[in-house]
Chains A and B, each alone.
Chain A
Amino acid sequence: QKEVEQDPGPLSVPEGAIVSLNCTYSNSAFQYFMWYRQYSRKGPELLMYTYSSGNKEDGRFTAQVDKSSKYISLFIRDSQPSDSATYLCAMSGLEGNEKLTFGTGTRLTIIP
């Protein structure tokens, strides 16, 4: 069983919809939780990170972490075609910039 589980999709939603992306994990040592966006044939770019449990909002993006359930989410409001990409969740331990453990990624398409 993988340490981080993520539904690979693909997920297609109409423009303007709210998108919900999720990951579950098994390693309770994870303290830092990140979401990366990856366009085809490009390197991942960091969207948001959260330390421990709680919510964090940045524009149209909201990240939530529930450590008691070992469950993290990324919400995208007012989705745009330019949001079409693969979204990767990633986690790391206490220092925050040790190795990252990634999910498989969810491929998202926003339909105009």
Chain B
Amino acid sequence: DTGVSQNPRHKITKRGQNVTFRCDPISEHNRLYWYRQTLGQGPEFLTYFQNEAQLEKSRLLSDRFSAERPKGSFSTLEIQRTEQGDSAMYLCASSRDRGYTEAFFGQGTRLTVV
């Protein structure tokens, strides 16, 4: 069990560019979550998947954001036409199916939009 893996760890991009982040959950975990954390704030929920199905999306997830989890394995989060306000830490977490509460977080991808 190598834990939740996120790549890249850091990303600097120019405003208006598209970026994509990847999350590899713990292998037997069915649920996968994306959160966003800005400086001095707690993580805010963005979206989550049960296997390959995207079950809920936050209002924070504008139409510039899209997430996928093909075949219920790894997940990608894409941000199109990045804005400076998108600068944040993007965290991925995974957990087992129903009845199990522990969500394990990855180290996050820190995005800086210049």
Where the two chains meet, the residues of A that have a C-beta atom closer than 8 Å to any C-beta of B are: 4, 6, 8, 32, 34, 36, 41-46, 49, 51, 88, 90, 92, 95-105
Contacts and interface: CB of A to CB of B under 8 A. Distances in A.
Nearest to A97: B95
B45 interface: yes
A1 B43 CA distance: 17
A4 B31 CA distance: 23
Contact of A42 (B31, B43, B56, B107): B107
B41 interface: yes
7 contacts: A34-B101, A41-B110, A42-B108, A96-B100, A97-B102, A98-B48, A100-B43
Interface residues of B, number: 30
Dominant SS at the B interface?
Answer: loop
A32 B101 contact: yes
B40 interface: yes
B42 A88 contact: yes
A104 B98 contact: no
A97 B100 contact: yes
B104 interface: yes
A46 B4 CA distance: 13
A41 B41 CA distance: 13
Given A44-B105, A96-B100, A99-B33, A6 B48 contact: no
B107 A96 contact: no
Given A49-B101, A97-B103, A100-B103, A43 B91 contact: yes
